[in-house]
Structure 1
């Protein structure tokens, strides 16, 4: 499925959309199973899952282009009502995504974006995600954020995957929770203005959130390997090396103090690996959250 374009009245012409709709008699939840497929050069997003369930395996999502307004261009968007696109009335239901053995490359804004929903990503490559064309923001491999409309947290489980050459952040977790296992996050680049460039970044936004990183490699990211803004991170059996700052923690104004539990068989540094868990507070600022709702196609 390739080269979709927006209609005359819209900005996006996504590849596949599944949306659970409210009905006076019953809520209707949609289900998608997608395997062994190619989605290429679609406009705005390749796959949108809203208040529904998707199982996606062995697909390629490539070169998703921004909408005609220069925004978005995401690979896969998983959301409840009140997420990125909101013209269709839907139930306030979480979506679920299971994504396995797939390749997402050269998409814009986000390879995968999860808003107030649940995602499991396994044995998948997310690489070369580009910033939005309109303003140069984002370019994240994976974004995991709470839904400000439903006040629901998102949840990510990421296993045995590669997140490479993103911009802004390889994995960004806002007021949500993530478990990351056996994954490599490397070579995250800053924006064109030189800002950001973290491998894994988390922010509480005045909501408790946790990230657990186990048996991972976080390497050669432009700013911080792992940045923590008033969140709680547990790091075990991992290598965090050759980043400008391996571990950075900052307390958000009015937020709880950041915490790192990182004394369990980890290695840091570059030329000479060191098991010492040393956390800097270099005055970094967190990556930006996703902006308010945009019109759907």
Structure 2
């Protein structure tokens, strides 16, 4: 380092002599030293022993810092899920390493299970399911049976239309043999229909103008359908409304028209061991929704061991106050585009006061949005949920957002993984919208298209509120956490933003009057700024924060900075540290304000030292017409200046810098002055100097430019 530093001094020696002479004539008796000495109130350490006990800053108190990641806890994994190691933290995946298996007809690979198995019961050796009851009223239907049957096992009905559905009483069982059947199931309350097995009992619906294959016609106990497949019907698979109840167990609904299952106006449906796939749109380019829930009074659906794949536009749509969808052990994947609606294929959309409770759920490969939550009163609770590989929408190549919250919706999530989504992993916007995250990993977010290059891990704006505890944002983003807009508030604790050295990465940005409260934060590997604030009214309060190990940016070898505060924004901070940076540790520029205590700056290299370099920097703490107040600080090996006090060009604003109880060592210039007539006593109250080229001097170093957000 000293070789680089002194070679830089030699190339500018004549210029520095001129500056020093200028200082002698211009500054008079204002206390500025003329020979590299120190004024009253400052101490020349005479070496590099370090500060005395009164000036030693307290270090950041981050118990997990030595581990390099916050204690994000995603384990123990849910039963049947596998541990995924090798990343920053151990994660959980509901499928084996190769992903879900491709299964035969009548089978599925449910999450948390080792491989394919029959949906519902395995096919029996006889004609009917082995679970057909031996007592009570049982009617039998067998494809190909002789005409004129009476529904007994000896002379079964041949067609569904032969069953007098409207006269069946609660407790009646209708057993359907292997075969393909045209017709519908208009079930009375408490009636049970059981096929032989989903692989070999097939219902194809009817060409008659009947809106659904399965419905419940009256109030009472839940009707049930088990062990069959509804395949390619020219209508909805099942529709329940008006307070009626239905249970689906071991059922496949494939390529239904408009909706796979609809639950409306107080209807109740329970789902277990069910697959809904390939739901078609009524009109090409519009929606073919697997599960549609809404209307007043609020309908209810509870589903477990549930696979949805290949729907169109939306896989799940839930709307309206009182509507509730409860999912567990569920997969929602590969939703296809509704081309008439921006080419989106949203995994699940919850809106206008509906509620979703999801545990052990995987959203994968959906289009445009993985999970959309919208509207005042809408609430979502997520536990052990993975949202991954959401693709940009087909219409314009944008979005690909994992979790999207707008319009006053509220989401609480714990043990959440957002992986390999596009453009923005999680977005929360609008007044009244809220997001609470605990034990969450956001990683490998990618650009959506060449037209939308910015990649954000967590985006909070428009007056929304967000809090995050034990949160990791890693790998691939341009901005780890982005907080924007008047009324927007974010609270972070035990959070790390980890860049991977690609692109132009920033850890945390707060701007346009937004507010941030943050504690126990690590920003590492970001190669532009670690933490940046922009705009009057923007405020951040931070404690126990480390910004370290900036990587060089891909163009021009220009390094990353630590804390950047601009244009009226303010940062209040305690126990802050920067280490291994390549531009500056702290910068207040053009009205930005820093009010800091217990600050450590260790190692800020100049990005380059040749004469053609326009941005060498290497500053520990810098004010360019900004306000800086620092108490108890230590600056070591900031290559160019430990502290730079400068007036921005072409502006009347002067820097306001006050230093108290600090130590500066290992810099070309301990304190560099580029503001005419500045009162040096404000910079030397209890400040000690170690081995610097000069302790205090007039300089003319290149100044960082405002970034303007």
Return the TM-score normalized by structure 2: 0.33
- Alignment partner, residue 182 of structure 2: none
Alignment of 1:39 with 2:239, yes or no, is: no
Q: 1:185-210 CA distances to partner (integer Å, 9 max, x unpaired)?
A: 00001111122211000002xxx431
- Alignment partner, residue 53 of structure 1: 268
Does the 8 A contact of 1:44 with 1:67 survive in 2?
yes
Q: State the distance in 2 between where 1:281 and 1:126 align.
A: 34
Q: 1:80-139 CA distances to partner (integer Å, 9 max, x unpaired)?
A: 1xxxxxxxxxxx300011011111001111111111111111110111011114344331
Alignment of 1:141 with 2:347, yes or no, is: yes
- Cα 1:157/1:44, change in 2 over 3 Å: same
Does the 8 A contact of 1:247 with 1:280 survive in 2?
no
Does the 8 A contact of 1:170 with 1:188 survive in 2?
yes
Structure number with greater Rg is: 2
- Alignment partner, residue 278 of structure 2: 63
Q: State the distance in 1 between where 2:348 and 2:205 align.
A: 23
- Alignment partner, residue 459 of structure 2: 248
- Provide runs of 4+ in structure 1 moved above 2 Å: 1-10, 133-138, 271-283
Alignment of 1:79 with 2:279, yes or no, is: no
Alignment of 1:105 with 2:309, yes or no, is: yes
- Alignment partner, residue 160 of structure 1: 360
Superposition pairs for residues 253-268 of structure 1, below 5 Å?
257-262=463-468, 264-268=469-473
Alignment of 1:199 with 2:419, yes or no, is: no
The alignment yields a C-alpha RMSD, in angstroms, of 2.6
Does the 8 A contact of 2:276 with 2:309 survive in 1?
yes
Q: State the distance in 2 between where 1:280 and 1:60 align.
A: 43
Q: State the distance in 2 between where 1:2 and 1:199 align.
A: 36
- Cα 1:17/1:268, change in 2 over 3 Å: same
Q: State the distance in 2 between where 1:270 and 1:6 align.
A: 53
Superposition pairs for residues 127-138 of structure 1, below 5 Å?
127-138=333-344
Kindly tell me the number of residue pairs found equivalent between the two proteins. Answer: 248
- Alignment partner, residue 653 of structure 2: none
User: What is the CA-CA distance between 1:276 and the residue it aligns to?
Assistant: 3.0
Give the counterpart of 2:495 among 275, 278, 287: 275
Q: State the distance in 2 between where 1:102 and 1:122 align.
A: 8
- Cα 1:276/1:245, change in 2 over 3 Å: same
Q: State the distance in 1 between where 2:206 and 2:342 align.
A: 22
SS in 2 for 1:102: strand
Higher RCO, 1 or 2 (CA under 8 Å, sep at least 6)? 1
User: What is the CA-CA distance between 1:67 and the residue it aligns to?
Assistant: 0.8
- Alignment partner, residue 84 of structure 1: none
Does the 8 A contact of 1:4 with 1:41 survive in 2?
no
Does the 8 A contact of 1:47 with 1:75 survive in 2?
yes
Does the 8 A contact of 1:3 with 1:41 survive in 2?
no
Task: Please identify which structure carries the higher helix content.
Answer: 2
Return the TM-score normalized by structure 1: 0.77
